[in-house]
Amino acid sequence: MARLNWKRFKDERKNMNTVPGEKKKEKFFGIKPLVVALWFALLFLPFNGLRAAIILFAVLLISIIFFKFLFSYKKIVIEGLQTFHNKIRATGLFSAPSVHIIRSLSIIFLFILPFITTDYLIDVAILAGIYIILALGLNIIVGFAGLLNLGFVAFYAIGAYSYAIMNTKFGLDFWSALPFSIGLTTVSGFFLAIPALRLRGDYLAIVTLGFGEIVRLILNNWDSVTMGPNGIPGIAPPVIMSVSLGKLSYYYCFVLSLVILTVFVTRRVYSSRIGRAWVAIREDEIASSAMGINTTMYKLYSFAFGAFWAGLAGALFAGKMQFVSPESFTFMESVLIVSMVILGGLGSIPGVILGATILVILPEILREVQLYRMLALGGGLVLLMIFRPQGLLGGKGVSLRG
């Protein structure tokens, strides 16, 4: 009791001796803004020299201090936004019929987009659609079941190469080869999960990373089947009712239809008994097992179901590019797909779509400053992890578990 009283006395004396506003000033002009600005300036130094790095340091330092000053008004801003949100909800704009109408209009707009824009933007949109399917597949493993997979690009590669080989060597068209590509990828995911799921956390991530590198090395060295680093050219695009989808606008509509199908199926599975079991395993595997959930089997389901969509995305990629090579399936692709899921929010389907779209479109916007776009992307992800670790549209309490 005496210790508690002495501690309270010391705290009161400290508060009495502190000038009002001194704590705020001390926090405001802390060392953190200086360290952050200096770090980015040092990263910038090798590209544009000392003068540009000093200018960047000064601009960042002033900007960070300015934003820290604005941060003190965070409560007022949040209350204002909450009031604005409540007023919008009171208008009935977010009611179920309105949401369905807005969603339908958005889909119609997306379908007519290729007829009002350039081929370049259509090409970027097709790539974004393929990555959305990939990210939704990984979200099943990482976001729903909470299993960190750093080798997801291996399933993407298996899907692309299986379609390329079946088409160029056996003469099968897209629709005949697609079941084989997706089936092989799904089986690969299932059999990888059997030994891998004996591990947890970082060890599971290392095993999946190793699997991704093994697949890439096989594709790079098995010259008689995969043609090694030269890749496989001459892959035929899909054909529907004797109409080739090689034209960008046709292929865009085809990919968009499959994206909508992926979102619909993923949402339905997430709302099913299997989806609820995945979420339970993600939150607490021991409690889930105690409640009678077969955690091993449901983890196998998540790996296989996630690999299913990766196989579909791989076949779409091969059909679009009409060429595949091992350079398209490196470890950085896995990192990019994981970043899409984390950026949007683990377990959030709209968030994953947003994250994939941002990380495909942003590098294209920053193409003129190619040397700095990865620096900007990395800095943005660091800031996101600091200020909103659950992702842009992610819920609270979602985390990776082994």
Which amino acid makes up residue 9? F
The answer to whether the beta carbons of residues 164 and 329 sit under 8 Å apart is no
Which residue in this structure is represented by tokens 């089936």? 183
| Structure confidence by residue, pLDDT tens digits, 249-284 | 899 999 999 999 999 999 999 999 999 999 998 888
Contact 394, 351 (CB under 8 A): yes
Helices 174-196 and 201-221 cross at an angle (nearest 10°) of 140
Share of the chain above pLDDT 70, in %: 80
* Integer Cα distance of 227 and 325 in angstroms: 9
Q: What digits encode the pLDDT tens for the residues 203-242?
A: 888 889 999 999 999 999 998 888 889 999 999 999 888 8
- Top mean pLDDT of 52-61, 89-98, 134-143 is at 134-143
Q: How far apart are CA 20 and CA 337, in angstroms?
A: 49
**Tokens for 317?**
């990629």
Q: Which of 255, 258, 246, 237 is nearest to 167 (CA)?
A: 237
Axis-axis angle for helices 119-139, 248-270 (nearest 10): 20
Q: Residue ranges of the domains in the chain? A: 29-81, 119-387
Q: How many residues does the chain have?
A: 402
Q: In the chain, pLDDT over 90 holds for what percent of residues? A: 34
Q: Is the pLDDT of residue 90 over 60?
A: yes
State the Cα–Cα distance between residues 178 and 154, nearest whole angstrom: 17
Which residues does 181 contact at the CB level (< 8 Å), separation at least 6? Answer: 158, 159, 162, 163, 166, 311, 312, 314, 315
- Locate 100 and state its tokens: 């369905």
Task: State yes or no: pLDDT of 186 exceeds 60.
Answer: yes
Confidence class for position 353, pLDDT limits 50, 70, 90: very high
Please give the pLDDT value at position 138: 94
Look over the chain and give the mean of its residue pLDDT values, rounded to a whole number.
81
pLDDT 10s digits, 96-120: 666 678 778 888 888 888 888 888 8
Rg (CA), the chain: 25
Identify the band that residue 368 occupies on the pLDDT scale cut at 50, 70 and 90.
low
pLDDT in tens, 377-402: 777 777 777 777 777 777 654 544 44
Residue 16: predicted pLDDT: 47
Q: 119-387: what CATH class? A: mainly alpha
Q: At what angle do helices 248-270 and 295-321 cross, to 10 degrees?
A: 170
Place of tokens 């990380």: 359
Instruction: Dump pLDDT digits (tens) for 44-76.
Output: 666 667 777 788 778 778 877 777 776 777 677
In the 3-class helix/strand/coil scheme, how is the chain assigned residue by residue?
CHHHHHHHHHHHHHHHHCCCCHHHHHHHCCCHHHHHHHHHHHHHHHHHHHHHHHHHHHHHHHHHHHHHHHHCCHHHHHHHHHHHHHHHHHCCCCCHHHHHHHHHHHHHHHHHHHHCCCHHHHHHHHHHHHHHHHHHHHHHHHHHCCCCCCCCHHHHHHHHHHHHHHHHHHCCCHHHHHHHHHHHHHHHHHHHHHHHCCCCHHHHHHHHHHHHHHHHHHHHHCHHHHCHHHCEECCCCCEECCEECCCHHHHHHHHHHHHHHHHHHHHHHHCCHHHHHHHHHHHCHHHHHHCCCCHHHHHHHHHHHHHHHHHHHHHHHHHHHCEECHHHCCHHHHHHHHHHHHHHCCCCHHHHHHHHHHHHHHHHHCHHHHHHHHHHHHHHHHHHHHHCCCCCCCCCCCCCCC
- For residues 89 and 163, the model is more confident at 163
For residue 289, pLDDT over 90 is answered with no
331 pLDDT more than 70: yes
The more confident residue out of 44 and 174 is 174
Give the mean pLDDT of 318-343. Answer: 90
Pick the closest to residue 301 from 157, 148, 140, 142 (CA basis).
Answer: 140
Give pLDDT, residue 19.
Answer: 42
Both structure tokens of 178 = 């697609």
Among the residue ranges 12-16, 166-170, 249-253, 350-354, the one predicted with the least confidence is 12-16
Q: Residue 44: its pLDDT value, please?
A: 67
CB 314 within 8 A of CB 185: yes
